[in-house]
């Protein structure tokens, strides 16, 4: 039986060659042998709001059985962190993989109120057995300082600081594939 990977995409256009689309194609190709990669379309990705994304996660999570791996890219990563810190879920979470996620409220340029985490959010994430944080050091879209802020709040996480300035990972992220396979 294949293990389930639920991938939550970034904000912005999600058509071919946009947003997380190439990343999804890469994950499906690399993990096709032992994993089922599910990647729902999230509501209004060009103008996202937390409540519709939360409601979509509620629907997706209600369908899951067995052990599940969650992967969130950019906004998808920050939404998964917020959801898991604030909501309950009824599936066995094997690991959470967060890639290039903004830390909403961290600085003046990242202030979308409905995505800002509760002040004690990290206290609700200790039960996640494997929490990975990935970020490119010279990234131009979501500053590396956001990654540093997550690392400070989530010291139990496994840190993957990447060379370069990738955000969309059009050519993949081999470290992520290896980390998923090693669970």
Domains of the chain: 3-181 (3.40.50.1820)
Average pLDDT, the chain: 95
Query: CA 101, CA 77: separation in Å to the nearest integer?
Result: 5
Burial of 78 from C-beta contacts in 10 A (0-12 / 13-18 / 19+): buried
Burial of 6-15, coded b for 16+ CB within 10 Å and e otherwise, reads: bbbbbbbebe
| Residue 152 pLDDT | 97
How far apart (Å, rounded) are the C-alpha atoms in residues 182 and 176?
10
Taking CA atoms, 134 is separated from 104, 147, 157, in Å, by 17, 8, 10
Block residue for tokens 């599910």: 38
pTM: 0.97
pLDDT of 44: 97
146 near 102, Cβ under 8 Å? yes
DSSP state of 149: H
Kindly report the backbone phi and psi dihedral angles of residue 112, in degrees, each rounded to the nearest multiple of 5, phi listed first.
-70, 105
Q: Which residues of the chain have pLDDT under 70?
A: none
């Amino acid at each position: 039986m294949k293990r389930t990977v639920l991938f939550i995409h970034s904000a912005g256009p999600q058509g071919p060659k946009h947003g997380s689309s190439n990343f999804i194609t890469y994950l499906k190709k690399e993990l096709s042998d032992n994993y089922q990669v599910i990647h729902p379309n999230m509501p209004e990705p060009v103008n996202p709001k937390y409540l519709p994304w939360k409601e979509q996660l509620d629907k997706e999570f209600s369908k899951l059985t067995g052990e599940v791996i969650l992967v969130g890219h950019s906004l998808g990563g920050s939404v998964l962190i917020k959801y898991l810190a604030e909501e309950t879920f009824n599936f066995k979470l094997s690991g959470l993989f967060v890639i290039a996620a903004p830390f909403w409220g961290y600085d003046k340029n990242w202030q979308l109120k409905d995505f800002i985490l509760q002040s004690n959010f990290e206290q609700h994430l200790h039960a996640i057995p494997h929490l990975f944080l990935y970020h490119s050091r010279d990234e131009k879209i979501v500053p590396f300082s956001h990654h540093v802020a997550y690392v400070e709040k989530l010291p139990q996480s496994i840190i993957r600081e990447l060379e370069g300035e990738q955000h969309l990972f059009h050519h993949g992220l081999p470290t992520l594939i290896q980390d998923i396979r090693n669970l």
